[in-house]
Amino acid sequence: MVAGALVATHPYGYPLPAPPLASRIRCVWGQGWRVARRWARVFEALDALHPLEPLGYLGTLGVEPSLQGRGIGTALLAHWLAGLDREATGAYLETDRRENVAFYTRSGFRVLGETEVLGARIWRMRRPAASDGRPARSVLESAPSS
């Protein structure tokens, strides 16, 4: 079983290249044109607010529901952020869950702004680069103890 996954870009990896035409057709086919159009509007709105500076971008973080709350999400995040800290690079993410704001704040993210897209509230969060290449204190603090 996959316990959790984190998908992120490297600092110069955003914007992501457009998916191949066949994948786009599969998406429209599977979700329907209306849903695909709504997703496109979400991506366009968030893209317009994406910081211009090169930042690691957290695309997705998820933990298998039966394993949530055991430190897996924090560990995945700490591993990714430690790599960015070694490169003295900051990080950026969006979340539509209020409870996740505290989760990411514990790893050094701060709310950059809030926006509303298609009626959903979205928090945009940024984590500054570690200035001296050592892991930021917040990563060490948020790493699981076991």
Please select the residue that binds ligand COA; options are 34, 69, 120, 146, rule is CB under 6 A: 69
Question: What would you measure as the largest C-alpha separation in the chain, in angstroms?
Answer: 48
Please select the residue that binds ligand COA; options are 68, 83, 110, 140, rule is CB under 6 A: 68
Alpha-carbon distance of 7 to 61, in angstroms, equals 6
Q: Does 72 bind ligand COA (CB under 6 A)?
A: yes
Strand residue runs (E) in 1-144: 4-9, 56-63, 91-95, 110-117, 120-127
Please select the residue that binds ligand COA; options are 10, 13, 45, 103, rule is CB under 6 A: 103
Alpha-carbon distance of 120 to 117, in angstroms, equals 5
Strand partners, 84: none
Please select the residue that binds ligand COA; options are 11, 13, 54, 71, rule is CB under 6 A: 71
Interaction with ligand COA in 7-66: which residues (CB under 6 A)?
61-63
Both tokens assigned to 6: 């984190």
Both tokens assigned to 64: 């298998």
Interaction with ligand COA in 73-102: which residues (CB under 6 A)?
73-74, 95, 97, 99-100, 102
Q: How far is the CB of 7 from ligand COA (least distance, A)?
A: 11
Binding residues for ligand COA (CB under 6 A): 61-63, 68-74, 95, 97, 99-100, 102-103
